[in-house]
């Protein structure tokens, strides 16, 4: 039995890469969501990183009667946010750093009815628990904003990149500064770089 996978959001490079991984694994088919009424989608993978604050792709996928299961598939993967992400019908939180074998196992488990977070990070396995704890206090939008600051973007450029208003950017910056204890943009850059946030944006672009 073929498990039908659809990718919602994400660029062509990611889509082609996913198609290649699924072909290598066997037992999966990268399907078009446009054909879902004729052939329902078993698992819809949704990229949430870099989307506008009012984007409804994830909610619409969950509500779609022709999509059986929905999982977030993203570069911006933080297991500490599992309770924020895996709710309201979302049954998977998968990082794009997964190998083909890991992705295959995760997708099969989701198809079987499990809720899956992969890769999962435990305190025992992570040598830098403090950094992860500090990252977990930030929302996805606050982390993304700090990551863009670390790459040298202005507030106007950040708003354009994230497809949100300038006021929203300023709000995320204020809340991120408050949570991290930084008081200036230069301090924010140092904090973001030391916590690996700038690499997230660079990895997203590459």
122 pLDDT more than 60: no
CB 3 within 8 A of CB 28: yes
Domains along the sequence of the chain with CATH: 3-118 (3.40.50.2300), 129-205 (1.10.10.10)
Partner residues linked to 30 by β-bridges: 5
* Residue of 91, 124, 130 whose CA lies nearest to 82: 91
Please give the pLDDT value at position 111.
94
Return the higher-pLDDT residue of 19 and 132.
19
Q: What percent of the chain has pLDDT over 90?
A: 29
Q: Which DSSP category does 34 fall into?
A: G
Please give the pLDDT value at position 5.
95
For the sheet with 28-30, list strands across it.
28-30, 3-8, 41-46, 67-74, 90-95, 116-118
- Across the range 153-172, mean pLDDT stands at 92
| Confidence class for position 179, pLDDT limits 50, 70, 90 | confident
Angle at CA of residue 43, ends 37 and 44, nearest 5°: 80
- Across the range 182-202, mean pLDDT stands at 71
Please give the pLDDT value at position 80.
62
Angle at CA of residue 127, ends 125 and 128, nearest 5°: 120
């Amino acid at each position: 039995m073929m498990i039908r996978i659809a990718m919602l959001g994400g660029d062509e490079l990611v889509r082609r890469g996913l198609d290649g991984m699924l072909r290598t694994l066997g037992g999966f088919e990268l399907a078009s969501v446009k054909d879902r009424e004729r052939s329902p989608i078993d698992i819809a993978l949704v990229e949430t990183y870099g989307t506008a604050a009012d984007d409804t792709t994830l909610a619409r996928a969950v509500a779609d009667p022709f999509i059986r299961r929905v999982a977030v598939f993203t570069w911006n993967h933080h297991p500490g946010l599992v309770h924020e992400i895996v709710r309201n019908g979302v049954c998977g939180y998968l990082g794009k750093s997964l190998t083909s074998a890991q992705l295959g196992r995760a997708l099969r488990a989701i198809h079987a009815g499990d809720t899956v977070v992969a890769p999962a990070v435990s305190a025992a396995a992570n040598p830098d628990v403090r950094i992860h704890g500090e990252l977990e206090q930030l929302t996805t939008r606050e982390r993304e904003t700090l990551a863009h600051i670390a790459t040298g973007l202005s507030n106007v450029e950040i708003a354009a990149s994230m497809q949100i208003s300038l006021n929203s950017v300023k709000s995320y910056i204020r809340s991120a500064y408050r949570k991290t204890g930084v008081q200036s943009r230069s301090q924010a850059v140092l904090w973001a770089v030391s916590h690996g946030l700038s690499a997230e944006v660079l990895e997203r672009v590459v």
